[in-house]
Each structure stands twice: as structure tokens, then as C-alpha cells.
Amino acid sequence: MGVLGRLEHLSNLAHAVERRGRSDGLVQEIAEALVASGEYVTRMDVLRAQQAVDFNWAAHQAGRILGIRVEVEVQVFKSASDGRAQVRVSRQPAPA
């Protein structure tokens, strides 16, 4: 592995650690909202695939911490010119 390959590898590791820190904070934020009001609602850029994957993971991780199953609902409004969608995380209804 050349010098540039090593630098790229170190950069990727640093970004992974940074993403993990943001994800951990998001997990806590979602869990607190679920306990307080039963849902977490925000807006998210749905065009950035990694952001959507990270958010979905954080929502389900928050549910695991609380010992519940969660449902992630994404609503894209045609009038939203900013490319963002409303995302809602709530407790999944118990099976009948």
C-alpha cells in the first residue's frame, strides 16, 4: 500500500469514527423523544443515501435500547423544493 493509500485509509477511519459519534447522539435524541412524546419527527435529505441508512439504523437502535419495535415512516411532499422529506419514528403497534 502506497502513501496515498494509507492516507485514504486513515481518512476513511476518521470519517467512520465521526459518523459513529453523530449516530450515537442521534440514537439518544430519538430514544428521548420516543419516551417523552411517543414519536420523533424531523426533516431529512432523502437524496443522500448514507444519511438515510444512518438515520434508519439510529431509529432502530433507539428502539432496541428502549426494548420496543419502531416504525420509520418517510413522507415526501411534491411541493418540497428542497429535496427533503419528513421522517417520523414511532412505536410499532403490537401484533393482534
Range of the domain at 58: 3-91
CATH number of residue 83's parent domain: 3.30.110.20
**Number of domains present in the structure of the chain:** 1
pLDDT score of 10: 52
Per-residue pLDDT for 6 more than 90? no
Residue pointed to by grid coordinates 420496543 = 68
| pTM (two decimals) | 0.68
Chain-centre distance for alpha carbon 90: 13
Strand-pairing partners, residue 20, are none
23 touches 58 (CB < 8 A): yes
d(CA 43, CA 10): 32
- Residue 60 maps to a domain: yes
Over residues 24-52, the pLDDT tens digits come to 899 999 999 999 999 999 988 867 778 88
- Residue 96 maps to a domain: no
Maximum distance among all Cα pairs of the chain, rounded to whole angstroms: 59
- Residue 25 maps to a domain: yes
